[in-house]
Structure 1
């Protein structure tokens, strides 16, 4: 148990049987009336964001979430298998938990897996990853000045929008949160 005065960003709370991560919080002391804490919480399971207010000093149940750096090994058909680099234990994470992260996940890539009571809650990648374009239509001469975009397929099979000058086998940086093209990578 913790007090509402102990809240920090990233802390995971257990409210009404569900896990919620604190995105932001603000202690408010109005001129009239008692102090309170205004928070923005994100559901760990669904990703839904809600605003919640707690009285100052109110007791809140915290959840023990273990965040481990793991290496993605392979997809076995029923889930994604990750290996803990410290003790080489393997963990199969269901596809529903991995979610959209799978669009940017390559074998032997490092990721952070959050565990609560032995079960995986979510998988996090760095804010951006470098992937190779496996297929895109060629850009036409003269199209380059328009600033338009075209679809391109990444090596993971996911499709993003890229500028017209990008060609096949080009390595690009992609934002893992939005799926946006961030730029070319020159090796």
Structure 2
């Protein structure tokens, strides 16, 4: 048990028998009336996002979530196969469970898989990954580092916007939370 004053981003709560992950929270002290906590919660299983307001200091039940460092091995039909880095146990996760993380997964890449009572909940990617551009249209004469962007497809099949001067075969950093281009990787 914890109180709403202890909320942190990423914390998983057990509300009415369902698991909800805290996406955002804000402690509000209005000039008149009691303080409260405004939060944005994401259902761990369905992905549904809701806004919920708690009175300050209200007790909430936290869920015991075990995050394990796992290595992505391969894609098998509808499943993604991961291996626990400590005991080499393999786990097959459904495409629905992996979700948007599949856009950034390369073989042998590390990711965190969250478990609750032995059941996998979701896959958490590092904040940024390095991917190679496999297809993009060539830039036009006069295109330089400042200016517009163009679509580019990376090795996982994800399409991102990159600066006009980048070509195929260039390795770039991509933000896994937003899908934005962060910069070119120096080799």
Superposed pair shares fold, TM > 0.5: yes
Give the 5 Å matches for 1:59-70: 59-70=59-70
Gaps of 5+ in 1: none
Please state if 1:162 is matched with 2:162.
Answer: yes
**CA, structure 1 residues 160+35, in 2 after alignment: closer, same or farther (shift >3 Å)?**
closer
Partner Cα distance (1:59, 1:139) in 2: 57
Find the aligned partners of 2:8 and 2:64 in 1 and give their Cα distance.
14
Q: Give the match's secondary structure for 1:100.
A: helix
**1:81-92 residue pairs with structure 2 within 5 A?**
81-92=81-92
Deviation of the 1:14 alpha carbon:
1.2
Give 1:132 deviation, angstroms: 0.7
Q: Which moved more, 1:91-100 or 1:2-11?
A: 2-11
Q: What is residue 119 of structure 1 aligned with on the other side? A: 119
Q: Which TM-score applies when normalising by structure 2?
A: 0.87
Count residues with an aligned counterpart: 187
Q: TM-score, normalised by structure 1?
A: 0.87
> Residue 79 and residue 26 in structure 1: after superposition, are their counterparts in 2 closer, same or farther (change >3 A)?
same
> Does the aligned pair in 1 maintain the 2:104–2:176 contact within 8 Å?
yes
Go from structure 1 to structure 2 and tell me whether the alpha carbon gap of 1:135 and 1:17 turns closer, same or farther (over 3 Å shift). same
SS in 2 for 1:123: strand
SS at match of 2:144: helix
Q: Are residues 26 and 89 of structure 1, via their aligned partners in 2, closer, same or farther at CA, if it must alter by over 3 Å? A: same
- RMSD of aligned residue pairs (Cα, Å): 2.2
Q: Which runs of 5+ in 2 are unaligned?
A: none
Structure 2: distance between partners of 1:141 and 1:131: 26
Q: Deviations over 1:82-133 (max 9, x none)?
A: 1111111111110001111111110000001111122221111111111111
